[in-house]
Amino acid sequence: MEPAKVIPDKLFYKIGEVCDHIGVQPHVLRYWESEFPMLAPQKNRAGQRVYRRKDLEIVMRIRELLYDEKFTIAGAKRRLSDELRSGPNARLKVVTPEMAADPEAAGLANSGPPPGAVGGHAKRSIKRIRRELEAVLTMLNTDGKSSGRR
């Protein structure tokens, strides 16, 4: 089994980025979407698939089940479904908005700085998120103009 790859810190990933990251062709990824109901990336106005971090984590786990652990599609589907239902002790850790809102209840609390203390790393993260959101907004505005909508 190969070492776990670090997921790039972005809000959205295009299908090519996901394929490059996990080492499969786009048609394989599209096939997995048809077989695994929990893998359902959103589509932007242009109809292109837009994957979130949760989707990328699911894709990485599917690849691991199929390629490394040699599960069949049906077996991988059952295993992944069980892991997603089993809650906070699951192998696959997907953070939902509810979990992020209440990290202590979700078992995600850490011994970091107290609330309100914003260090240099947090400020850089906030700036990065702002840039990414501005890029998404620009992309949405560009898509709307090119399709004749406003």
**Tens digit of each residue's pLDDT (9 = 90 or more) over 14-67:** 999 999 989 999 999 999 999 999 999 999 899 899 999 899 999 999 999 999
Would you state the pLDDT for residue 139?
A: 79
Residue % of the chain over a pLDDT of 90: 35
pLDDT at residue number 3: 46
HEC string for 14-38? EHHHHHHHHCCCHHHHHHHHHHCCC
More confident residue, 4 or 135: 135
> DSSP code of 2?
P
Nearest to 11 by CA among 42, 38, 33: 42
pLDDT in tens, 67-101: 999 999 999 999 999 988 886 555 555 444 555 55
Q: Where are the alpha helices (DSSP H) in the chain?
A: 15-22, 26-35, 53-63, 73-85, 97-101, 120-146
